[in-house]
Amino acid sequence: MQIRELSVEGALEITPNPISDDRGLFVSPFQETPFRLATGRRLFSVAQTSHSRSRRGVVRGVHFTATPPGCAKYVYCPGGSAIDVVVDIRVDSPTFGNWDAVGVDQEHFRAVYFPVGVGHAFIALQDDTVMSYLFSGEYVPENELALSVTDPELGLPLPQDLTPILSARDRVAPTLAEARERGLLPHYDKCKAAEVALGH
């Protein structure tokens, strides 16, 4: 398993080592020991697992959880392919406004670790793209917020050959600047405190 730091502070790309033979493939998208050795901490206790299935062109995000309570996540793609995007929206973070993108698919099974308070978006590149999530907290609708994935200030990597398919909520989500002006964005110090509370 290889682990790489992304350009958003605290976010990681994790690449496992699939084993394949004439029967097929076996892979472990998450392993505690390599994660702990690489990061010096354990993964959070999992409170919820979820899956999404999307057709080509679907864009989900940019989504984030109000902090507090905050929520960390670990995401991988067991079917299809996608561009997975992490966005630093934590006010006063050393990498505020930065984003990074990871190609995730059913061949490499790369995963992305999203620390508390960052934004998450992905673009499905194939029909029936499945994304699997491990969450540190359970879904609470009133805590779930969104930013515009087409915000020109962010300049996220939306493929030019795809027409984004967005939910009604994501179509009207505010820009990063609008969300900051409304006081919707999480603060870096509160996000780091929430990570400590997760046992990091």
Note if the bond before 141 is cis, omega within 30 degrees: no
Considering the candidates 51, 63, 74, 76, report the single residue annotated as catalytic: 63
Which residue is catalytic, options 74, 133, 139, 187?
A: 133
pLDDT at 164: 93
Is 200 in the active site?
no
Task: Tell me the C-alpha to C-alpha distance, in Å, between residue 39 and each of 14, 35, 62, 150.
Answer: 11, 6, 26, 32
Domains and CATH numbers, the chain: 2-197 (2.60.120.10)
- Which tens digit of pLDDT belongs to each residue from 140-171? 999 999 999 999 999 999 999 999 999 999 99
pTM: predicted TM-score of the whole model, two decimal places: 0.94
200 pLDDT tier (thresholds 50, 70, 90): low
Give the pLDDT confidence score for residue 42 in this predicted structure. Answer: 87
Q: Is 63 a catalytic residue?
A: yes
* Average pLDDT of the residues in 15-23: 92
